[in-house]
Amino acid sequence: MSTVHLPSDLQDALTERLQATAPSRASAQVERLIENYRGTTPTAAPILRDAADAAAYAAYRMPATYAAVRSALGAFREQAGEWTPVTHLDLGGGTGAATWAVADAWPGGAHRSTVLDWSPAALALGRDLARDAEEEAVRRAEWTRAPLGGAPALPVTDLVTVSYVLGELTAADRASLIDAAVAATRGALVVAEPGTPEGYRRVIEARDRLIAAGLTVLAPCPHDGACPVTGTDWCHFAARVPRTSLHRQVKGGTLPYEDEKFSYVAAARAAAVPGAPAAARVVRHPQIRKGQVLLDLCTRDDGLNRTTVTKRHGAAYRAARDTAWGDAFEAGDTPGGGEAPELP
Ligand SMILES: C[S@@+](CC[C@H](N)C(=O)[O-])C[C@H]1O[C@@H](n2cnc3c(N)ncnc32)[C@H](O)[C@@H]1O
C-alpha cells in the first residue's frame, strides 16, 4: 500500500479555510454525511446542501478521495507512458479532490481542468481552496454547476475522472454518465469508488461499459477479459493518508494516518494513449516470510494466483520484497522471467 501525501498547499488551504469552522460545526454535518454516504439510495438533490456541508466533506473526506484518485492515476501513468492530458473533465468533482490529483500526477500546469457538479456549495469551496494553489492547472480550473443525471452533454476532453460519484446515482444514471463520459473522452477515463463490495460492483459495471465501447483497461486489470474476482470477494486497494491535526479533530481517532480503501478502473483509447496493461498486479498485501514472499497476483494469462518467490530466485525475490499491494508485477519480475514458480 502506498502512502499518499496531500500536497502541502492543499493541506494549508484546508486548514486555513476550515480550522475555524470545521470542528464544532462540522461534527453534526459529518454525522449527517456519514449517514448519507452509508446509504445506497441515490438522492434527488445535492447531499452537499450548504457551505457547512461542503466544509465537512472537504475536512472529512477530501484527503482520502484525493489519495485514492492519486493512487489510481499513478498506476495509470505507469502503464500509459508519456501520454499527458491537455484537457480534463472532473465529473461530480465536488470540492476538487480529483482535480488536485490530476495536477499532481501531471505537474507543470499544461492542462485545463473543468469541474462539473450540481452542488454550488461544493463548487464554491473547491474554487476557494484552489485559489492559491501552486499548480497553475488547479488555480485556473473552471468550476461549473451541472446536473449529471439523464444523459448529460459533455464537452470533448482528453481525460475524464469520475471519483466517488457513481454511488450517488441511480443505475440508469450511472450507465448514462459512463456512456456520456466515454463519448466525451479522446484519451482516458478513470473511475474510483469506495473499496466496498458495492463500490467494486459499480466499478465493474463501468468497466464493462468502457470495454464494450472499445476502450482498453490499463489499470488495475492486466486484461480486458472478465474479472476473475467472484463470489463474495471484491477487488480493492488501499492508500495510506497521513492525518493532519484538522483531520484528527474532525474525524476523532488517534492514529496518525488513515487507510482509504478504494476500487478503480482506468481505461484509454488505444489510438490516443500508447500504453499497455501490466502482466500482473498484486491484489493483496504481500506476505513476507523467512526467505520467501507470497504474492497474490491477478495475471493476464492465468487469472488469480498465488506465487511464492524465494531467496533462491535472486532478483525476483528482491523485486517481490519491494512490491506492495496494488503494484504492477511484470513477467520479468517473476523467477524464470514469466514462468510462475511452482506453489509450495
Ligand atoms: C462523494 S462526492 C465526491 C466528490 C469528489 N469527486 C471527490 O472525489 O471528493 C460526490 C459528488 O458528486 C456530486 N453529484 C452527485 N450526484 C450528482 C448529480 N446528479 N449531478 C451532479 N453532481 C452530482 C455531489 O454534489 C458531490 O460533489
List pLDDT tens digits, range 57-91. Answer: 898 889 999 999 999 999 999 999 999 999 999 99
- Site to probe by mutation for ligand 1, drawn from 118, 123, 170 as the one with most ligand atoms within 8 Å of Cβ, is 118
> Please, which pLDDT band fits residue 314 given cuts at 50, 70 and 90?
confident
Q: Is 164 in the pocket of ligand 1 (CB under 6 A)?
A: yes
Going along 207-248, which residue ranges are E strands?
Answer: 216-219, 237-242
Q: Is 148 in the pocket of ligand 1 (CB under 6 A)?
A: yes
The pLDDT score that the predictor gives to residue 344 is: 27
The pLDDT score that the predictor gives to residue 53 is: 85
Distance 67 CA to ligand 1 centre (A): 17
| % of the chain at pLDDT higher than 70 | 89
What average pLDDT does the chain have? 89
* Smallest CA separation from ligand 1 atom 15, residue: 168
The pLDDT score that the predictor gives to residue 339 is: 44
Q: How far apart are CA 271 and CA 278, in angstroms?
A: 18
- Site to probe by mutation for ligand 1, drawn from 117, 164, 260 as the one with most ligand atoms within 8 Å of Cβ, is 117
The pLDDT score that the predictor gives to residue 16 is: 87
> Please, which pLDDT band fits residue 195 given cuts at 50, 70 and 90?
very high
The pLDDT score that the predictor gives to residue 99 is: 98
Q: Is 93 in the pocket of ligand 1 (CB under 6 A)?
A: yes
- Site to probe by mutation for ligand 1, drawn from 34, 143, 165 as the one with most ligand atoms within 8 Å of Cβ, is 165
> Please, which pLDDT band fits residue 337 given cuts at 50, 70 and 90?
very low
Strands 280-282 and 112-117: unpaired
Q: How far apart are CA 164 and CA 265, in angstroms?
A: 12
The pLDDT score that the predictor gives to residue 340 is: 44
Q: How far apart are CA 276 and CA 159, in angstroms?
A: 17
Q: Is 118 in the pocket of ligand 1 (CB under 6 A)?
A: yes
Residue type, 66: Y
The phi-psi region of residue 199 (left if phi > 0; otherwise alpha if psi is between -120 and 50; otherwise beta) is alpha
Q: Is 91 in the pocket of ligand 1 (CB under 6 A)?
A: no
Q: Which CATH number fits domain 2-268: 1.10.1040.10, 3.30.390.10, 3.30.70.20, 3.40.50.150?
A: 3.40.50.150
The pLDDT score that the predictor gives to residue 333 is: 57
Whole-number Cα distances in Å, 69 to 90, 191, 241, 263: 11, 8, 12, 10
Going along the chain, which residue ranges are E strands?
Answer: 2-3, 87-91, 112-117, 142-145, 157-163, 185-194, 216-219, 237-242, 257-268, 280-282, 287-289, 292-299, 303-310
The pLDDT score that the predictor gives to residue 11 is: 93
Torsion of CA 222, 3, 191, 187, to 10 degrees: -70
Q: Is 83 in the pocket of ligand 1 (CB under 6 A)?
A: no
Q: Is pLDDT at 261 greater than 50 in this prediction?
A: yes
Q: How far apart are CA 124 and CA 130, in angstroms?
A: 10
Distance 31 CA to ligand 1 centre (A): 18
Q: Is pLDDT at 304 greater than 60 in this prediction?
A: yes
Q: Is 117 in the pocket of ligand 1 (CB under 6 A)?
A: yes
The pLDDT score that the predictor gives to residue 126 is: 98
Q: How far apart are CA 264 and CA 280, in angstroms?
A: 16
Domain residue extents for the chain:
2-268, 280-333
pLDDT digits (tens, 9 = 90+) for 19-65: 766 544 446 667 777 666 655 556 677 778 888 888 888 988 899 99
The pLDDT score that the predictor gives to residue 256 is: 83
Nearest atom, ligand 1, residue 169 CA: 16
Q: Is 66 in the pocket of ligand 1 (CB under 6 A)?
A: no
Q: Is pLDDT at 332 greater than 80 in this prediction?
A: no
Least confident of 15-19, 93-97, 258-262, 316-320: 15-19
Distance 123 CA to ligand 1 centre (A): 10
> Please, which pLDDT band fits residue 331 given cuts at 50, 70 and 90?
low
